[in-house]
Amino acid sequence: MQNGRRGAFVIASTGDPSIGGGWNNQQLLKDCGLVPYLLHKNHGFRSCLVGCKVDEDYPYLKKYLRGLELDFLREDSLRARLDYINAHAAEIDLLILYGAYPAYMPIVERYRQVRPDGKIYLATDMNIAWADRLPHEHPQYKKFLHSCDVVAASCRATQKYLSAKWSVPVELIRNGWYNFYGVDFKKVFDRKENVILTVGRIGTNQKQNHVMLEAFAKVADKLPAWTLRLVGGVEESFKPYVEKFFAARPDLKQRVIFVGLIEDKLKLIDEYKRAKIFCLTSNFEGAPNVAAEALFSGDFTICSSIDAAGDMTDDGRCGKVFPIGNVDALAKIFLDVCRDDKLIADGGRHAFDYAREQFDMNKIVARLNYLLYGGDGT
C-alpha cells in the first residue's frame, strides 16, 4: 500500500467467453464496475479494471464512474495477466475476481507469491447448475478457493449450496443497485400503470420470453386494461416467432409492446417506475441485475424458479414464483395478481423497503470492505 491508499484491481478472466477477456461499456454499471468504483468513492481505494479492450469507447467511465481506472492488456492471454501481476504487484493490495473460473488458478497462485500480504475477493455470481461443473474436489481448485480471503455468492440459495459443497466459507454479497442518476422515487406509487415489464436481451434461449408472451395471450382477454412491455434488443432468431405470435393474435399488437434497447438510464428507470409488475421468465440466471432495479422501483416481481427467485421476491413477500417454462402456471399468476390491487400495492411497497435494506450498493460494498479489513475498513 502506497501513501496510505489501497489499490483494488479487478482482473478479467480468459475463462468467460461472454466478456472476451474484458468488459464492455454496459458492464461497467454492473457489480464488476460498481464494487471497485464504490471502494474508490466511499472507502478511498485506487480502483482499476484490468482486461482487454472490448469497446471502442467507454462513455460511462466519464459520465458515471469518475475515478475508476481502466488498464488494457496487450493481449488476451494468461501470460499477459501474469506479467501484469508481476509488474504491478506493489500496487495491487486487493485483487478482485469475477467468476470461479479454473483459469484464475495460476493468477491467484502468482499473486500469492508476489503479494502474500494482499487480499483476494472472489465473487462467484453463478447458478447452481454452473457450480456443479466446477472441479471443486481437485486439490489445485481447493487451493485456489482457500487462497481467497472472501468468497461470495449473490443469492441465498447458491450461498447455501456452495457452503455445503465447498471447503471454504461463502458469504452472501448481492448484486445491488446504485442511484447514479439522482432518481427521485418518493412518488413512484402515484404513477404506476397496469404494465407488466421485462428487461433484457429479448429472445435469447436463456430469457425464455416466449413463455411470457404465451402466458399473457392466454389471459389477455380477461385483463383488458393490462399491457406487456419488453425492453431490450430483440434477437434476430426471435423475430420470426414474434411475427407468428402477432399473426395469431393481431388483437394484441397494441398491448404487447417491443420497446427496443434503452441506453439512456433515466428512461430505463422510467420504465420500471411506471410498471406495476416486473416479470422474468429465464431458465437459468445467477442473480440478475434487473432484480434490484425492479425492487428499487417498487415493482411486484413475478419470476421463474431460478436460484435467485427467493431473493427477488423476498420469499413471496413482494412477488410470486412459477416453475421454469410453465406457461399455464404463469398465466394463472398473471390472472390472480393483476386482479388483486391490494396484493400489488402491498408487495410493491415491501419491494421498495426491501431493496433499500438489502440491495443498496453503498451498504453492500461497505460490508465487503468490513469483511476484508475489519473495523472501519482501514
C-alpha closest to that of 279 among 342, 339, 205, 198: 198
> What range defines the domain where residue 269 resides?
188-358
Question: What's the CA dihedral at 351, 356, 358, 360 to 10 degrees?
Answer: 130
235 and 337 co-located in one domain: yes
Q: List the CATH number of the domain containing 351.
A: 3.40.50.2000
Residue range 157-210, pLDDT digits in tens: 999 999 999 989 999 999 999 999 888 888 899 989 999 999 999 999 999 999
Q: Supply the pTM of this predicted model.
A: 0.92
Specify the number of domains making up the chain. Answer: 2
Give the residue carrying C-alpha cell 388483486: 340
34 and 168 co-located in one domain: yes
244 and 170 co-located in one domain: no
Residue 1 lies in a domain: no
* pLDDT for position 126: 87
266 and 122 co-located in one domain: no
Task: Considering only CA atoms, give the Rg of the chain.
Answer: 22
Residue 118 lies in a domain: yes
Residue range 1-50, pLDDT digits in tens: 444 579 999 998 766 555 458 888 988 999 999 999 999 999 999 999 99
SS3 64: coil
